[in-house]
Amino acid sequence: MKKIAVLTSGGDSPGMNAASRAVTKLAAAKGTQVLGALEGYEGLIDGAFRELTHVSSDGAIVIDGEVDTAGNQGGTLIGSARSLRFREKEGRAKAFAQLQARGLEGLVVIGGNGSLTGAHAFATEFGVKVMGIPGSIDNDIGCTATALGVDTALNTIVEACDRISDTARAHRRAFVVEVMGRDCGYLAMASAIAMAADAVLIRERGKTEAQLVEDIAGVISTGYSRGKRRILIIKAEGITVPCTRLVKLTEERMRPELPTVEIRATVLGHVVRGGAPSYQDRAVAGRLGFSAVTALLEGATDEMVGWLPPTPGGLATADSSVLRFPLDRVLTETASLIDGSSPVTKRRLALMEKASGVLAL
């Protein structure tokens, strides 16, 4: 392939830049030029590209200095968007025409569920050679143990909760801290264990508002009765009852028994999505980017490269920690992760059930 495109799509995640850098470097090393589509699929449809490589005076293909620098930064240099137009076949046809007009022979898509769904449609409808790289802080993508951004997001949550714990202990307060993750409770579960939080509230358990209030009240009274100064409850974004409402209802429920109870709500929100990528996100990005371009140049299409997937199968790559999976399998497994039927989700929940009695101690 003489020329390929790369794009980042959906919610940005730390490590997307590192993956774009790896894709560009490997392609350049193989003599392939790279264009970055700006704002994800939107740039593909509108023909808005940035040259990520150029040809030097001695004829070598070299990487844009900014792509190199951005590899160590959060966000995404080439921009991202959730493209409504690309969900329609008409939008995808426009994007295909743009690829053809520029002689672009392959595409690397870095993103989450929606982005990989678009990549699959593009590959099957138009025969475009497409490779996906999982990028989303939510960790809700099938066929991969982690997606780019998850590790950095967890480090950010842990740091924020350390700070909250300091002030909580000073005032002997309880905190309900909401973390992102859309419908997936992974960030909440993983950070709750790392923080030795008192409880974790996740959508996957299917509790009602009243049950959640009882659970929060229960861990607070147990914690205080044992002399704890900090009660930390991590709530996943997937639980749609707002933090402030849960706090208000729990305070009302507890006041008769504990008139001085003080609970605070903190929503970490987009703070969790920004920041320089951790070592792990950079390393995984580099290795996924390498394998994605290698596979693309070998003619692979309609696949995603996954990091140490827990499920057997897949075509081996030169990197033993990276496996290639057909996108339709990735999308099926992603759906089952979210609806709870996946063995991975069941394993996570079973582990949390076992941990919940210990967390509250």
Please identify which residue in 42, 151, 237, 302 interacts with ligand F6P, judged by CB under 6 A.
237
Task: Examine the residue annotation and report whether 138 is marked as an active-site residue of this protein.
Answer: yes
Q: Please tell me the distance from the alpha carbon of residue 131 to that of residue 301, in angstroms, as a whole number.
A: 6
For ligand F6P, the closer of residues 182 and 203 by Cβ is: 182
Work out whether 273 is an interface residue with ligand F6P (CB under 6 A). Answer: yes
Closer residue to ligand F6P, CB minimum distance, 123 or 137: 137
Of 79, 132, 181, 286, the residue at the interface with ligand F6P (CB under 6 A) is 181
- 83-91, 176-184, 248-256, 311-319 -> range binding ligand F6P (CB under 6 A): 176-184
Residue selected from 4, 11, 155, 302 as contacting ligand F6P according to rule CB under 6 A: 11
Query: Least distance from C-beta 85 to ligand F6P, angstroms?
Result: 17
For CA atoms 78, 79, 83, 87, the dihedral sign is: positive
With respect to ligand F6P, which residue has the nearer C-beta, 106 or 277?
277
Size of the chain, expressed as the number of residues it contains: 361
- Return d(Cα 137, Cα 148) in angstroms, integer: 7
DSSP state of 170: H
Select 263 or 331, whichever has its Cβ closest to ligand F6P: 331
Query: Which is catalytic among the residues 64, 138, 151, 302?
Result: 138
The DSSP string of 222-274 is: HHHHTT-SEEEEEEETTS-S-HHHHHHHHHHHHTTT-TT--EEEEE-GGGGG-
To the nearest whole angstrom, how small is the minimum distance from the Cβ of residue 181 to ligand F6P? Answer: 5
Considering only 17, 20, 53, 136, the residue that binds ligand F6P (CB under 6 A) is 136
Instruction: Identify which of residues 82 and 230 has a Cβ nearer to ligand F6P in the complex.
Output: 82
Provide the CA 146 distance to its chain's centre, in angstroms. 8
In whole angstroms, give the CA distance from residue 214 to residue 219: 9
**What are the C-alpha distances in Å from 155 to residues 10, 12, 34, 202, 248?**
21, 16, 32, 19, 29
Candidate list 15, 36, 106, 112; residue touching ligand F6P; CB under 6 A: 112
Under 8 Å between Cβ of 129 and 107: yes
Beta bridge partners of 316: 323
Shortest distance, CB of residue 273 to ligand F6P, whole angstroms? 5
Based on its alpha-carbon atoms, the radius of gyration of the chain, rounded to whole angstroms, reads 22
Stretch that binds ligand F6P, among 125-133, 166-174, 179-187, 341-349 (CB under 6 A): 179-187
Cα–Cα distance for residue pair 300/28, rounded to 1 Å: 18
Size of the site for ligand F6P (CB under 6 A): 10
Give the single-character DSSP code of 122: H
3 state DSSP class of 358:
helix
Question: Catalytic residue numbers?
Answer: 138
Q: Report the interface residues with ligand F6P, using CB under 6 A.
A: 11, 112, 136-138, 180-182, 237, 273
